[in-house]
Structure formats: C-alpha cells, structure tokens
Chains A and B, each alone.
Chain A
Amino acid sequence: MRFNYFIIIFALLLTSCKKHEGCTDASALNYDAAANRDDGSCKYVGVNYPYELDVPSQFEQLLPAPSIPANNPLTEAGVLLGRKLFYDPILSGNNTQSCASCHKQANGFTDNGYQFSTGIDLLQGDRNAMPLFNMAWNYNDTYFWDGKASGIENQVFEPVANPIEMHETWPNAVAKLQSDDEYPSMFNTAFGTETIDSNLVTMAIAQFERTLISGDSRFDQYIRGEISLTPSEFAGYNVFMDEAGGDCFHCHGDINNPLWTDNIYHNNALDATFSDLGRGAVTGNAADNGKFKTPSLRNLSYTAPYMHDGRFATLDDVINHYAVGLQNSATVDPLMKNVLSGGNQLNPQDRIDLKAFLLSLNDPNFVTNPDYQAP
C-alpha cells in the first residue's frame, strides 16, 4: 500500500515537472500562453526569418538538395510577399490579371484547360501555360518551354511586360506597388528597404514559386512504403520502364527520380516541319530545332491539355501519339526509335495500364494545399 502511494506521488511529480516549451513572450506573434519554458521560437512583427522548405522525405533520400540561389535565400517575409504579388492583378497593365490568372492552383498552376492563355488585351500566345511545381529541383534552372530564361527571377520579368500577357511596363508596376498601402513595409521586412524595384519583385515571386512542392501522389506514398500500387498501376510502371515497351523513363525519370522529368530539351516527334523552332530559336543551333522542355508527369489530371502547344486534349491522345503518331524530322530524338513505323505500338491493355500509372502521379494535396492559395 505504501508502495502504491509512492508510485502515485512520483507520477504526479513527473507530470508537474514536465515543461511545455514554446514562445513565452506575450508581445510575440506566436506567443503560446500554455508554454512555461521559452524555446527561442518567438517571432515578431517586422522581423524576417529563414523559410524552411517542407521537403518530402523521398526527395531528401533520392535527390540532391534543392537549388536556392545564394543571393535570394528563402525567407518567411519574402515568400509571403511573393505569394501576395503572385495573386495580385496590380502587376498587369489594367489591373485585371495576376500570375495566378493563368497559373491556377486547382490546375497544377496551369490555365484552366485552355490550350492558349488570353492576355489583358484579349490576345493569345502560341504556347500552353506551364505547370509550376518542384522548381527548386530544376537543377538546370532554365524556364519556359524553350528554356529562354535562366533562373525563376529572370522568368518573372517576361509575362508582366509581354504585350500579349499582362502588358504592363515594369516602371509602372513598381510605381503602383510603391504607392500601395501595404507593399512598401512588406518589402522592407523581406528585403530591408521600402524602395521597391523590379528585381525585388521578381525575387519575391521566385521565392514563393520555390515553395510549391508536389511530393504526395499515390506513387510518392508507394515510394515511401505507405501504400501498395494497384496491379494495373504497377503493370503500367513496367510498360513505362521497358525499353521494348513504352520506354518513357529515359526522359521522364523513374522510381529514383521522382521529379518525373530530366528538365532538358528533346524533339519528341510531334511534327515533320516546325512552325515553332523551340529551343533552336534560343540557341541558334539548328540541331535544337523542334526541341522543347520535358514536362514533369506529375498532376496530369489537372494540367490538360498537353505538349508545348497544348495540341493534345487528353492523356489518351498523348499515349496514342507515342504509340502510332510519331513524325520524323532531322532533329527527332534518337529515343523516338520507332519513328518510321509511327511509334511503340502499345497494345490496348498496355495503354490502359500506362495511363493508370500516370494517374498515380496526381497529387491532390498539392492542388488544395492552403499554403499556396491567395494570402
């Protein structure tokens, strides 16, 4: 009996001694009233803090560290500012379009199923809006279908000033931000100056875009050992990986490269002659004509239509292209090995399985993640 009392008293002593760690400063943004021991985590208005990327464990295991430019490290204030700018139509000529107008989260940051996007002057381009995710793992750091921009910061300059897109001048955009009630102090917190310039705008948006991470598809869960694939998904992965079958992996990655792209440029036999030279127009090298960036295969259900010009409305159209639709040209990639016979001739069952595998790369949590919504 005496022994039992001793145990109870000892247990009470233990729990009462238990420390609740947190921020104990009532003037801090993240004051935790229940905390009885400060853990150094207090954050204050107007102060900037490093932003920790939420890197999926399979990325940490399989891929090199994310590539963040030394001159634009991720910060909480920088990411928040970039997120606000990304969703703010103030950057367009008539204040009607933001980046998000053509890069919608629900569509994997593409444009609502449209083949081509419509700018503020109701003009259209000739390339399909690219999805935005896992850009911190694009080690070549080139952007657009033809890779004409090096670094996201440089990419951001383009659509704001493009006459068929947001059609604003950068001096105007900066002047509007400078006279806004909120932006100068946000720039001050993020970059230490209330004097806004276009470089800082692009740096903030680039920071936000680097936080867009898609790493929780069914196939990711399979890599992490959390679920099993269906027999059809698994059979489809084998079609994808078989050089004598789909042979998709040489450009689109595999279980050890969960980016599902090589982030470089190939001519995938879309056309016999080129109305759009693609990479060749950027490099000036005729050997690059008709080459476009390999897109990631993640989130395909949200990002239709497909190809640089959005010519294929459905995944079945894409699979059919590689099966029977290949067009020969001087720069066609050697990996398009059956170009003279039209393609890899996948049979109906292989096509069904391949599609099931491709759909296992959809990441529904990415397209609904509240961290990526308008602030």
Chain B
Amino acid sequence: MKKIIFIILMLAVLPLVITSCKKKGCTDAMASNYDANAKRDDGTCTYDPHVDPHITLSFEHNFDGSIVSSSSFNQLNYSNQAGNILSIEHLEYLVSNIKFYKSNGDSLVFSDYNLSNLSDMNSLSFELSDHVEEGSYTGIGFDLGFNSSNNISGSYTDLNAVNWSWPDMLGGGYHNMKFEGKFIDTNTDTISYAYHMGKAREITATDTTFHDNHAFIKLNTSFNIENDASISIDMNIAEWFKNPNTWDLNAYNNMLMPNYTAQIMMKDNSSNVFSWGGIVQ
C-alpha cells in the first residue's frame, strides 16, 4: 500500500521537476520582460516602444572667458571693448524656435521658449518638450526673442506676468533681452545702463515703421545624439559691446528701447554672442 502511494506521489511530482528544469519565459535580453532564468522562449517577449532621447539645453555665461553668475553681479569688475568699466545687475533673455539641423539638410523645429534669468539658476536650463531622434546633426539654431510670427502682444501668460512685454508704442510683442548694470562714465560718475532689446521703431519724416528685431542664432557643429543629452550654449556677454559695433556706454546707456540706431546695433552685435558649449550624453 505504501509503495502505491509513493509511486502516485512520484508520478505527480515528476512533471513539475521536468518543467522546472526547462523553465519557459522570454529569453530575449532586449525585451522589457527578459527572464534571465528562462531556458526556452515561450513567445511572451514584449518590447517597450522606442523612446527618442530627451534633450536639455543649458545656458552658461562669461565675460570674455570670465564666468558670470548672479554672485558676480553688482561689482564694477568688467571692461568692455570701448574700455568702459561696468557691472552687471540683471540679465534676462528669451530663446525660442529651437532648431536641430540634420546632415541631410532637414531640421527639427521645437515650439518651446525659455526665459533665462541669471538671478534664477533654475531658469538657465530647460528640457525640450519633444524628443530628439537619434542621429547625426550639423548644428542647432534658435531665435533670441520671438520671430515676427510668434511675437504677438499678450499671448504668453507667463511672460505677461513678469513684465516681459515690449510697449505697443514701439511695435508691441515682447522683449528679446533685458541687460542692466552700471558703468563709470567720462565724469567718473557711476551711472546705469539698460540694454533692452526688442522691436526697432524707425521714425522718418513721413512714416513710422516697426522692424522685427529678433536675432536668429545658428551654431554650426557636428554632433551625434545617441542618448538623453545635455547641450550647453555659451553667451559671451562682452560680445554685446564688441562686434561689429564697439559699444561705448557713454554714448548708448539708457532710453535705448525707442532708439532705432541702438536697436539695430544690438542685433548686429548678437552674431558672435552665442557659441556651442558642448554635449554630454
């Protein structure tokens, strides 16, 4: 009797022993449910949908190579091309319409915009809301400010709330940049400057016209996107005073928003302000 029970038990357990030796499961290491213990594939492998990399853009600032942050504000420790000794107290600028250029001539365009404020560390980097496909690229581009189709008065609530609007009497829309500080003038007085950039109002004897004055920035450099990556972009603040127009703060310091000549000079000087800072992925 005992033998019979033993045999029945053995027969019952044997299949379990056999299957445990040949564990079934997903055997593809690339699958999301890969089972390292599985010996035999059972067709259950599932795969995550492919996710393109997330890209973060971060902005870094220097004055001819000397790092600038809010901790270096309020000190007269910079000298520009014209020889003006100056401080920085406020630097805030809008970047929009970001583009990634592909080797085949196509480009990816992102609708994001970002207001970088050196007094707020968190504002200096932002993640693109859309992913960037893997591959090789030949450069990136962006608008400083909004281009004319995006520069619509009142349409960005977050920017309205921080007084980023450009006055309607000057053509409306939004500031490109607010850059303020103090400098030592020819009388050795310390006075302020407010280098605010936006639409340029031109008044002639017969007409008033408003010129779109955003700067399109293109940084040519070859890079590959393989994974989530952080791209840094450098602003050399000294360039705002340098090339092609040597900017003497004694001549141009305040009330520059309605000053057509100053606005056009700002746009001209924007061409070498930004440079590629590198990619980490």
Contact = CB atoms under 8 A, between A and B. Distances in A.
A335 B180 contact: yes
A206 interface: no
Nearest to A241: B167
Interface string A216-253: 00000000000000000000001001111000011111
Nearest to B182: A334
A63 B255 contact: no
A336 B89 CA distance: 13
Given A62-B157, A287-B74, A337-B192, A254 B90 contact: no
B254 A337 contact: yes
Interface string A242-286: 111000011111111101001000000000000000000000000
A254 B167 contact: yes
Interface residues of A, number: 34
Contacts of B236: none
A185 interface: no
Contacts, number: 86
A238 B163 contact: no
Interface string B231-258: 0000000000000000000000111111
B258 A137 contact: no
Given A257-B160, A331-B74, A242 B167 contact: yes
A203 B161 CA distance: 25
Given A243-B257, A334-B180, A63 B192 contact: no
A331 B154 CA distance: 32
B154 A334 contact: no
B168 interface: yes
Given A64-B157, A243-B255, A257 B163 contact: yes
B5 interface: no
Contacts of B154: 61-62, 255-256
Interface string B151-189: 001100110111101011100000000101110000001
A250 B191 CA distance: 18
B162 A241 contact: no
Contacts of B169: 238, 241-242
A284 B156 CA distance: 34
Given A242-B258, A244-B258, A337-B192, A257 B74 contact: no
B165 A254 contact: yes
B146 interface: no
A262 B90 contact: no
Contacts of A64: 157-158, 161
Contacts of A137: 161
A335 B165 contact: no
A253 B167 CA distance: 10
Nearest to A252: B163
A63 B258 contact: no
Given A243-B255, A334-B182, A335-B192, A63 B74 contact: no
Nearest to A288: B74
B168 A255 contact: yes
A255 B192 CA distance: 27
Contact of B161 (A63, A334, A340): A63
Given A64-B161, A334-B193, A241 B168 contact: yes
Contacts of A255: 154, 165, 168
A137 B157 CA distance: 12
A333 B254 CA distance: 13
Contacts of A139: 161
B40 to A, nearest CB: 50
Given A254-B163, A256-B160, A334 B255 contact: no
B194 interface: yes
A254 to B, nearest CB: 5
B73 interface: yes
Interface of B: 73-74, 89-90, 153-154, 157-158, 160-163, 165, 167-169, 178, 180-182, 189, 191-194, 196, 253-258
Given A139-B161, A335-B194, 8 more contacts: A241-B168, A243-B254, A255-B165, A259-B161, A334-B181, A334-B194, A335-B192, A337-B191
6 contacts: A253-B163, A254-B163, A257-B163, A262-B162, A334-B180, A340-B191
